[in-house]
A and B are shown apart, each in its own frame.
Chain A
């Protein structure tokens, strides 16, 4: 028993120090007016920061964008990821190349591949198709309102990148299923659609749950990609970029902490939903 605690100690110490403590600190700071620019230390202001946020129209806009973004990308990533996994699960000519095409977007540093995307989607210097992309951008923005194009391009990028990881993850899951089960299913039903829903999906349940999970949390928190594609401009406010502006550029740690903690209820809701809908991943594997 002592051995167990000894073995767990390094991980626990690091996680407590660099994760639990900062979170606790953040909760405390969100009730204060702390800022490194002030002379005085943090001063308790109660729920002031939160009250301020809830009355702020910009905040609600960011929430709507964040939730819409998370939902849209997760659905698309899941659908594509399942398709990739099923595709790669069988041998065919050219599988290696397809594997590469699916896996590269995830393995490639996002901040770098995002530049390739930026260049592809909004060519800033005279290239052959920049007039075309310009027209497309104005049409989309005109039809759906300002910022729609930015939303679309960030969403596309996120899907491009995220579906590849989910695909490989689910492939690992399919490999773990004994092939006899799929063979049995083939004898039972001729409809590929029925086999998919009645056999493949239930068998992959724990993986699907985890994939949804990871996808939602990364989308809620997708600060980096949004930041990179829009240079943090106001056209595409998500909760993450707003918090970044407030804290790092504005030095307003108190309100920024409150802002990013507003993500917690969403994350907890997702967590609860998934633990209810699927078996928790830790148990399901046994």
Chain B
């Protein structure tokens, strides 16, 4: 921002910016308003008197109550959480070890292996869901959380590995060498010296993985079938839209509640997230 006259700053910067912020946040506001609007108001003609489309004077929590009492929403929350935590854990574990090896150890084919792990990140789920559906069926994992816990790492590991590899490269080698001279094993130095320093990178990778698995849709849609086994993204869409009937109030209530964990994770860690990304690309 070059120093200018204040009114210019407003016209060229703050006013467009405000419009933009309102625009991007509007769908969220719209979901909130729909979720707390009573049914009588939701399904009223737009010509009705006192119609206020953009706000409501009679907010209600009825839809949220219905969500917990009449649907299997609590199950979905737990399923999603369970699957996201375990698959994030698996991917972080694999990513940490692989990232460390690729960043620090010298061995034949290191470069090729690094590139190929990275390239696997670019294999889209659209290519994979057909064969995976068959594998899941053969192992009789269909309709269990394990179907997702095993498949999510396919897109989580490559990114975690790539991010952590970059982060490890920013940590000076001397630190580790000192530890080795003091008698630590390679493994000991890795766990006690390098991993603690890499915490921002690890957090960043973890947040990324957690969000991706929380939000994943295609695999969850294909591999899970019974209502109480579903995850939030799939459950909300498939159980609250029956044929052409949309349970708008509950749909929006579910949409809001279902994303609170992710929103919380981000509001606490977003600066870490950016720092972690920066660290990993600097290396």
Contacts and interface: CB of A to CB of B under 8 A. Distances in A.
Contacts of B95: 11
Contacts of A22: 128, 131-132, 135
A236 interface: no
Contact of B31 (A8, A14, A115, A213): A115
Contacts of A257: 130-131
Contacts of A131: 46
Contacts of B128: 19, 22-23, 26
Contacts of A115: 31, 236-237, 251-252, 255
A202 interface: no
Size bracket, chain B contacts: 35 or more
Interface string A78-110: 000000000000101010011101111101111
Interface stretch (A44-52, A53-61, A142-150, A167-175): A167-175
Interface of B: 1, 13-14, 17, 20-21, 24-28, 30-31, 34, 42-47, 51, 53-54, 90, 93-95, 97-98, 100-102, 105-107, 110-111, 113-115, 117-120, 122-135, 137, 150-151, 153-154, 157-158, 161-162, 166, 169, 186-187, 211, 214-215, 217-218, 221-222, 232-234, 236-237, 246, 248, 251-252, 254-255, 258-259, 262-263, 266, 270, 273-275, 277-278, 281-283
Given A11-B97, A109-B259, A116-B252, A228 B217 contact: yes
Contacts of A104: 24-25, 28, 263
Given A115-B252, A116-B252, A10 B94 contact: yes
Contact of B123 (A14, A23, A128): A23
Interface in A236-286: 239-240, 243-244, 247-248, 253, 256-257, 260-261, 263-264, 267, 271, 280-282, 285-286
Does more than half of chain B's interface fall in helix, strand or loop, or is it mixed?
helix
B101 A8 contact: yes
A224 interface: yes
A224 B233 CA distance: 11
With most chain B CB atoms within 10 A of its CB, the pick from A8, A12, A217 is: A8
Contacts of A75: none
A157 B28 CA distance: 13
B232 A112 contact: yes
B202 to A, nearest CB: 15
B46 A127 contact: yes
Nearest to A34: B134
With most chain A CB atoms within 10 A of its CB, the pick from B115, B134, B232 is: B134
A12 B215 CA distance: 25
Contacts of A128: 46, 51, 53-54
A15 B154 contact: yes
Nearest to A163: B24
Contacts of B30: 116, 119-120
A256 B133 CA distance: 12
